[in-house]
Amino acid sequence: MTRPKGTLIRNPTITRINHWITAACFVLLTLSGLAMFHPLLFWLSNLFGGGQWTRAIHPWIGLVLVVSYAGMIVQFWRDNLWTKTDLEWTLAIGRVLANEEESVPEVGRFNAGQKFVFWSMALLIPVLLFTGILIWDYYFETLTSVGTQRAALLIHSLAAIAAIIIWVIHVYAAIWVRGSMRAMTQGYVTPGWAWRHHRKWFRALAATGSPGPEPHVDDNKTRK
């Protein structure tokens, strides 16, 4: 797809594919996990062909998610490092929510909210992987005790609930900030969007004359 003239590349094709594979896996894991979480939600197992299929496919989707999110980490870990600007941005979150970003500290490619989602998932997914392996009866039932499995199941469930809440916040924010969904579906944003929401990132592109994506922006360096 050809982007409109004058727009900026926010997410290359490979990034968007990686993102949507991760998103699809997360949705499927949420649905299949909820089906096994409580009897009232067991009807969701029909989406996967029944209870046995749901139980069988859930951990394999989880492995795909781990590999896919590892790809996201490789691409974005440096742009998601925490900086002093992020703390200032967080303290001004009220103005961000009120769409009064002119007086909010400038941010690079990702703001503090996006970094929170990134690192929270980077922490929770390994927890879900490790605890998921401990309760994967088909392969590991004989290697773990009942007490260990019960503890792992509790931690797995709590981590999953936390991940779902963070995912909901992520989706809501993407819809709330107009133009953000297009960045991940079509890959581009307008200069006005970049200037308003990620001004330091925009300045980096302008300085290099590149339409994006740009090299890592060091948010700790203040603009002269």
* Residue 11 in tokens: 């997410």
Helices within the chain (DSSP H only): 13-37, 51-76, 84-91, 93-97, 112-134, 137-140, 146-176, 180-185, 191-197, 199-208
Q: Residue 167: name the closest of 58, 23, 36, 64 by CA.
A: 23
- Report the C-alpha gap between 170 and 166 in whole angstroms: 6
- Do residues 217 and 85 make contact, with C-beta atoms less than 8 angstroms apart? no
Residue 38 falls in the annotated catalytic set: no
In the set 19, 170, 197, 198, the catalytic residue is: 170
- Report the C-alpha gap between 125 and 144 in whole angstroms: 21
* Residue 102 in tokens: 């002119």
Cα dihedral across residues 118, 121, 123, 126: positive or negative = negative
- Report the C-alpha gap between 108 and 170 in whole angstroms: 18
Distances (CA, A) of 150 to 123, 133, 146, 168: 21, 13, 6, 27
Enzyme catalytic residues: 170
